[in-house]
Amino acid sequence: MITIGALSQRTGVNIETIRYYERINLTPKPPRTESRRRLYGAEDVRRLTFIRHSRDLGFDIPAIKRMLALQESPEASCDQVSRIATDQLEAVEIRIGRLLGLKGELIRMIKSCDNGSVASCRIVEVLADPTIPQDAS
């Protein structure tokens, strides 16, 4: 059994985040010592590592809760988990598309800048009024 500090170090999850996950029932409430210190075992490390990795991949809390609930039936088909992962992939692809659009817009704004004074800066003008055509002088 390990303390919350050791759990945090092993999993890379902040102590306050661990407490938050307990409050929202993403992780079970751990047993406590007589002095009220939380104690965690190997299953807690595994579960929290799963949650951290899922969060790193962009899964939201409801999706993680569903995947954790599905783990309670290890013999069941993984179709639902696959669907959750597919939905996340689609969301990532949409975000990538938006980010590429933002990248293009930033490149155009920077290229239209003549590095003169701020008073005539095209970047400032476009940010203040996005309807200004970026290729115009």
Quickly name the fold that domain 1-57 has.
Multidrug-efflux Transporter Regulator; Chain: A; Domain 2 (1.10.1660)
Which pTM does this prediction carry? 0.75
Q: Taking each helix axis as running N to C, give the angle between helix 79-111 and helix 61-70, from 0 to 180 degrees, rounded to the nearest 10.
A: 160
Domain boundaries, the chain: 1-57
Give the Cα separation of 133 and 41 in Å (integer): 60
- Reported confidence tier of residue 108, pLDDT bands at 50, 70, 90: confident
Query: pLDDT for 71-104, tens place per residue?
Result: 988 888 899 999 999 999 999 999 999 999 989 9
